[in-house]
Amino acid sequence: MTPLHLRLLRTRLAVCRRGPGERLPVWLHRAEVWSATRTPDELSLVVPDDLAPDAWSPERGFRALEVVGPLDFALVGILAGLAGALAAADVSIFAISTFDTDLVLVREWDLERAVAALEAAGHRVGR
């Protein structure tokens, strides 16, 4: 796999699960980083940690490592390579893909171990 350049985003994030019929909160659009995915069973939101209401039972304390893109849709194994290196270091991930890139969220307490594992795998992580 070709070495990748990743950058650590400064925003601390929370992962939240809402009901499938919930609407996106209006304040969400003011956040620098957020993601929403709806399935028939849920609305999954990744929002800034400090904006996640306690009523949403958020999983807090995530940091995002973003692959510097844009990435070509024909590329194969980007997430698999990152996930494999992190799994070997016993670091759990929450992955998000956008049109241009991939983000790997790790718990803040695993961040240093995650960066070390990615760098040992030949990737470059900027902060």
Maximum Cα–Cα distance across the chain? 43
Range of the domain at 47: 5-126
The pLDDT tens digits for 13-71 are 999 999 999 999 999 999 999 999 999 999 999 999 999 999 999 999 999 999 877 66
Count the domains in the chain. Answer: 1
Say which CATH number the domain at 18 has: 3.30.2130.10
CA distance linking residue 72 with residue 18, whole number of Å: 32
What H or E segment, with its residue span, contains residue 38? strand 35-38
The pLDDT tens digits for 68-91 are 776 666 566 677 788 999 999 999
